Amino acid sequence: MTDNDAGAAAGPPPRLGRLPFHGPLSDARADRMVRRLARTAPATVLDIGCGWGELTLRILAAVPGAAAVGLDLDAGDLARGRRAAGERGLAGRVEFVRESATGTTRGPADLVLCLGAGHALTTAEPPGHVPAALRELRRLVRPGGRVLFGEGFWERAPTAEELARMWSGASAADHPCLAELLDAAVDAGFRPEWTETANRDEWEEFESGYQADAEEWLAAHPGHPLAAGTRERLDRHRAAWMAYRGVLGMAYLTLVPAG
């Protein structure tokens, strides 16, 4: 068998196997979040755009008796979450559901997680998507509960050249600054209990991990029928990351619904 034949016989590139979370979130920060959220002893957890639900599973492990529902549209991520729940003895306490979160009737819950998935709650276009998502989160959380909202923000105003190298159609209106994000949370009926932002190490761990499995696969299988498309996708994403590196931030806001 030639090298090209071997490459063609290989399976497709693996996806996100090295990432514990689908975002720039370290284990250390996640552990602090879990401890803080567990203090409120939530009985019900709703995870919007849950992916494989790693943070929800850690919260369930820290709060015996709590039950959770995770919503997402990616069947592969949901299956990964179900497998992890089974391996940790949590399968009877969490339901991973493939459905849209827009207009969801799954709430209200004691704890609502929405990490990088505010767009799943609304059809509003930027810059109105953040206020609209926060209004939905206010509707979905019970009095006395908590919302953990992860949302992008501009650490500084992007230049026109930087925007042109980011994702397709990138605009300065796509994200607020951090102060505007906090103001939007207050306007939606929350008080910000805790404000934190991803650091450079967390971003680099996430972005490298996002690409790593596919990069390794591509190096080993250059003759695979999927190699050209995989190469184009990886190169495009890396170029976008280099454009928003140090410009785009991620805020994690722990929000308390105001009476």
Nearest in space to 21 (alpha carbons), one of 93, 101, 80, 64: 80
Instruction: Give buried/exposed letters for 18-27 (b at 16+ CB in 10 A, else e).
Output: ebbbbbbbbe
Q: Is residue 4 part of a domain?
A: no
Strand order in the sheet with 248-257: 94-98, 67-72, 44-48, 109-115, 141-154, 248-257, 190-197
- List average pLDDT for each run of 10 residues in the chain, which is 259 residues long: 54 94 98 98 98 98 97 97 98 98 97 97 96 98 98 98 96 98 98 98 98 97 96 98 98 96
209 within a domain of the structure (yes/no)? no
pTM here? 0.95
Closest CA to 70 of 202, 58, 194, 205: 58
Of the candidates 243, 24, 52, the one whose C-alpha atom is nearest the C-alpha of residue 152 is 24
Domain that holds residue 157: 27-202+240-256
Based on the structure, what is the number of domains in the chain? 1
224 domain residue, yes or no: no
In a domain, 217, yes or no: no
pLDDT of residue 107: 94
Residue 144 lies inside a defined structural domain of this protein: yes
Instruction: Residue count of the chain, please give it.
Output: 259
Contact predicate 29/148, CB 8 Å:
no
pLDDT at residue number 9 = 64
Candidates 90, 89, 52, 88; CA nearest to 72 is 52
E strand residue ranges, the chain: 44-48, 67-72, 94-98, 109-115, 141-154, 190-197, 248-257
One-letter amino acid identity for 84?
A
Asked if residue 1 is part of any domain, the answer here is no
Burial of 78: CB neighbours in 10 Å, binned 0-12, 13-18, 19+: buried
Q: What is the CA radius of gyration of the chain?
A: 19
Q: Do the domain assignments include residue 216?
A: no
What CATH number has the domain bearing residue 194? 3.40.50.150
pLDDT score of 33: 98
102 alpha carbon, distance to own chain's centre: 16
Residue 94: other Cβ atoms inside 10 A: 25
Domain assignment present for 233: no
Residues 6+ apart with CB under 8 A from 190: 134, 138, 147, 255, 256, 257, 258
* Per-residue confidence (pLDDT) for residue 217, from 0 to 100: 97
